[in-house]
A and B are shown apart, each in its own frame.
Chain A
Amino acid sequence: MKKKVGAILVIAALLLSGICFFVISKSNKDIETSQTLVVVSPHPKEFMIPLIQEFESETGIRTTIISSGTSNAIESIENGEDVDALWGGSILSVGPYKDYFYPYVSLNRAIYKEKYKKVDDEFTCFSDVPSILIVNEDIIGDTIIEGYEDLLKPELKGEIAFADPAKSSSSFEHLVNMLYAMGDGNADDGWEYVGKLIDQLDGKLLTSSSEVYTGVANGKYKVGLTFEEAAVTMLKNDKHIRIVYMEEGVVTTPDGIYINKNTDKLTEAERFVDFMTSKNTQVYMASELGRRSVRKDVEPSSLVIADDEIHTISVKKDRVVNSKSLWTDRFSAMYGEKNHE
Chain B
Amino acid sequence: MSKKTGSFQENIRGTFIKYSLVPVAVIVTVALFLFVFSWIVFMAHFNEQENQSIVSEITRTMNICNEMMSDVADSLVDNDFEVKDSEIFAVLYKRTADFGEMGNLIILSSDHKTLFSSKNSVPRFLTGRESYDWGIWHQIYKNKNSVNTILYNKNLYVTYGLYEGSNLKVAVVYAIPGEAITSNISAQARYVIITDENGWVYASNTKKLQNEYGKVEQIFTERSGYIRYDGNIYYANRNNTDKGLVVYTINDISRSVHLIYVLIAIIVVIFGAIALVTIRSTKVSSEKYTKDIRRIEDAFEEVQNGNLDAKLDINSSTEFTIIADDFNDMLQGLKDQIQQNKELAEHAAFSQVKQLESQFNPHFLFNTLDNIRFMAKIDAAAADKMIVSLSGLLRYSIREMREEVTVKEDLENLQYYLNILQIRFNKRFAYSIDVTEDIMEYLIPKLLIQPLLENAVKYGFNGQEKLSVNVRGYQMKENLIFVCEDDGAGIEEDMLREIQENLKKEDNATAHYGLYNIHRRIRLMYKGDYGLDISSKKNEGTVVRLTIPKH
**A residues bordering B, Cβ < 8 Å?**
1-2, 5, 9, 12-13, 16-17, 19-20, 23-25, 27-33, 36, 45, 48-50, 52-54, 56-58, 62, 64-65, 67, 279-281, 283-284, 287-288, 299
Contacts A5-B22, A20-B36, A280-B138 hold; do A31 and B214 have CB atoms under 8 A apart? no
Contact between chains at A56 and B221 (CB < 8 Å): no
Interface of B is mostly: mixed
What are the 9 A-B residue pairs with the smallest beta carbon separation, nearest first?
A: A28-B225, A56-B198, A27-B225, A284-B134, A16-B33, A280-B133, A49-B213, A30-B223, A280-B134
Can you list 9 A-B contacts (CB < 8 A)?
Answer: A1-B18, A9-B22, A9-B26, A13-B29, A17-B33, A30-B223, A36-B218, A57-B197, A58-B138
Residue of A19, A52, A54 near B135 (CB, 8 A) is A54
Q: Which residues does chain B contribute within 8 Å of A284, judged by CB atoms?
A: 132, 134-135
Q: Would you give the shortest CB distance from B239 to chain A, in whole angstroms?
A: 10
Q: Would you give the shortest CB distance from B310 to chain A, in whole angstroms?
A: 35
Contact between chains at A48 and B213 (CB < 8 Å): yes
Contact between chains at A33 and B37 (CB < 8 Å): no
Q: Which residues does chain A contribute within 8 Å of B224, judged by CB atoms?
A: 27-29, 31
Contacts A54-B134, A280-B133, A280-B134 hold; do A49 and B223 have CB atoms under 8 A apart? no
How long is the Cα–Cα vector from A1 to B14 in the complex, in angstroms?
A: 11
**B residues bordering A, Cβ < 8 Å?**
14, 18, 22, 25-26, 29-30, 33, 36-37, 40-41, 44, 125, 128-129, 131-135, 138, 150-153, 196-200, 212-214, 218, 221-226, 235, 238
Identity of the chain B residue whose Cβ is nearest the Cβ of A52 in the assembled complex: B213
Contact between chains at A283 and B131 (CB < 8 Å): yes
Contact between chains at B40 and A45 (CB < 8 Å): no
Contact between chains at A29 and B225 (CB < 8 Å): yes
Contact between chains at B213 and A54 (CB < 8 Å): no
How long is the Cα–Cα vector from A293 to B151 in the complex, in angstroms?
A: 26
How long is the Cα–Cα vector from A18 to B129 in the complex, in angstroms?
A: 63
Contact between chains at B129 and A287 (CB < 8 Å): yes
Contacts A2-B18, A13-B29 hold; do A31 and B238 have CB atoms under 8 A apart? yes
Contact between chains at A287 and B128 (CB < 8 Å): yes
Contacts A31-B238, A45-B212, A58-B138 hold; do A20 and B37 have CB atoms under 8 A apart? yes
How long is the Cα–Cα vector from A5 to B36 in the complex, in angstroms?
A: 24
Identity of the chain A residue whose Cβ is nearest the Cβ of B226 in the assembled complex: A28
Q: Which residues does chain A contribute within 8 Å of B150, judged by CB atoms?
A: 57
Residue of B14, B37, B223 near A28 (CB, 8 A) is B223
Q: Which residues does chain A contribute within 8 Å of B151, judged by CB atoms?
A: 53
Contact between chains at B132 and A283 (CB < 8 Å): yes
Interface of A is mostly: helix
Q: Would you give the shortest CB distance from B222 to chain A, in whole angstroms?
A: 6
Q: Which residues does chain A contribute within 8 Å of B40, judged by CB atoms?
A: 20, 23-24
Identity of the chain A residue whose Cβ is nearest the Cβ of B150 in the assembled complex: A57
Q: Would you give the shortest CB distance from B213 to chain A, in whole angstroms?
A: 5
Contact between chains at B223 and A27 (CB < 8 Å): no
Q: Which residues does chain A contribute within 8 Å of B153, judged by CB atoms?
A: 50
Q: Would you give the shortest CB distance from A291 to chain B, in whole angstroms?
A: 14
Contact between chains at B33 and A20 (CB < 8 Å): yes
Contact between chains at B213 and A65 (CB < 8 Å): yes
Contact between chains at A288 and B18 (CB < 8 Å): no
Contact between chains at B198 and A57 (CB < 8 Å): yes
How long is the Cα–Cα vector from A284 to B151 in the complex, in angstroms?
A: 17
How long is the Cα–Cα vector from A281 to B131 in the complex, in angstroms?
A: 12
Contact between chains at B214 and A24 (CB < 8 Å): no
Residue of B33, B133, B225 near A24 (CB, 8 A) is B225
How long is the Cα–Cα vector from A31 to B218 in the complex, in angstroms?
A: 11
How long is the Cα–Cα vector from A23 to B153 in the complex, in angstroms?
A: 40
Identity of the chain A residue whose Cβ is nearest the Cβ of B29 in the assembled complex: A13
Residue of A23, A32, A50 near B222 (CB, 8 A) is A32
Q: Would you give the shortest CB distance from A161 to chain B, in whole angstroms?
A: 21
Q: Which residues does chain A contribute within 8 Å of B128, judged by CB atoms?
A: 287
Q: Which residues does chain A contribute within 8 Å of B152, judged by CB atoms?
A: 53
How long is the Cα–Cα vector from A16 to B35 in the complex, in angstroms?
A: 12
Contact between chains at A31 and B222 (CB < 8 Å): yes
Q: Which residues does chain A contribute within 8 Å of B238, judged by CB atoms?
A: 31
Contact between chains at B198 and A62 (CB < 8 Å): yes
Identity of the chain B residue whose Cβ is nearest the Cβ of A30 in the assembled complex: B223
Choose among B18, B225, B226 the residue with the greatest number of A CB atoms under 10 Å from its CB.
B225
How long is the Cα–Cα vector from A302 to B404 in the complex, in angstroms?
A: 151
Contact between chains at B41 and A23 (CB < 8 Å): yes
Q: Which residues does chain A contribute within 8 Å of B196, judged by CB atoms?
A: 57
Identity of the chain B residue whose Cβ is nearest the Cβ of A62 in the assembled complex: B198
Q: Would you give the shortest CB distance from B126 to chain A, in whole angstroms?
A: 12
